[in-house]
Amino acid sequence: MSFGMIFSIILIIVFIAFAFYGIMKFLEFKKTVVVGQFYSDLSKDVNNAWIGTQYSKQVEYTLISEVQFVCLMDCEAEAGGIRLKYYGELEKNCGVQLGKAKNIFLYPTINDRTFTAHAMEHLDLKETLGENPYCFPVKNSKIKLMIKKGIGDTLVTLERV
């Protein structure tokens, strides 16, 4: 084989490798966008409930297939309840985000920890019926929950449907 033919084959292999690399990065970016959109939509709905005097609405959000549960957790409170075994892994992602304590977590933890936990304002973590973490199941990449705020309540509660 001539040098030109060997060089062409090498170039083709390099181009195919870069194409696969680009596709993989694009798919990873899509997952980040889906998780970010979930946090954004939930935050918007919680803020709408918080602004009103009374609110009750069932909502459904889309997540990535790797997520099995979305959990509310108070990192400073004791662990307890039926999802006690998740506390240890979720606790690794506790911290502060933009001056607020993280309180909503994805389980299992995603490799890219950027979107594994989020600080959500106006949530009442005391109303989780003694469960810490208080988890919502994700089925077929969908999560359903009830957003509630009663008359006289200062914070919003999330409940399982």
Give me the domain span that covers residue 126: 3-160
Residue 124 phi, psi (nearest 5): -95, 105
Measured over the CA atoms of residue 46, residue 47, residue 50 and residue 54, the dihedral's sign is negative
Nearest to 116 by CA among 47, 31, 48: 31
Total tally of structural domains belonging to the chain: 1
Contact 32, 115 (CB under 8 A): yes
End-to-end CA distance of the chain: 67
- The pTM of this model reads 0.81
Query: Which pair of structure tokens corresponds to residue 153?
Result: 């309540």
Query: Which pair of structure tokens corresponds to residue 161?
Result: 């449907």
How would you write the pLDDT of the chain (161 residues) with one tens digit per residue? 788 889 999 999 999 999 999 998 888 888 888 988 999 999 999 999 999 889 999 999 999 988 999 999 988 888 888 887 888 888 888 877 766 788 899 988 766 655 788 888 999 988 776 788 899 999 999 999 999 999 989 999 999 98
